[in-house]
Amino acid sequence: MIKITFGANFLKSAKKLPKKQQEKFAALLEILQKNPFRPGLHTKSLTGKLAGFYSFRITREWRVIFQFLNPDKIKLLEIGHRKDIYK
């Protein structure tokens, strides 16, 4: 199972999510630990200034940006609405 760590402001941002998205995110963390590329997460490799990072979907509108620190460790960096998170 993959170990998950959090960036400096990640948990503060997660607490600002609407309640429904917070609950869905909590459920998706278990899936992420088992298989970060499971199709239901819609994980994708990012490009441009975010090259080397990945994102997965909480819902159609909400995303999480993360990076692999090594094959067994992921660091969650940003969480937010898709219109804001990639800026």
Torsion-angle region of 2 (φ positive above 0: left; ψ -120 to 50: alpha; else: beta):
beta
Helix or strand holding residue 26 (H, E): helix 19-34
Q: Which of 34, 18, 81 is nearest to 55 (CA)?
A: 81
Q: What residue ranges define each of the domains in the chain, with the CATH number in brackets?
A: 3-85 (3.30.2310.20)
Share of the chain above pLDDT 90, in %: 97
pTM, 2 dp: 0.94
Contact between 17 and 81 under an 8 Å Cβ cutoff? The reply is no
Instruction: Return the biggest CA–CA distance within the chain.
Output: 32
- What are the per-10-residue average pLDDT scores of the chain (87 residues)? 94 94 95 96 96 97 97 96 92
Q: Which of 3, 6, 64 is nearest to 34 (CA)?
A: 3
* pLDDT tens-digit readout, 49-58: 999 999 999 9
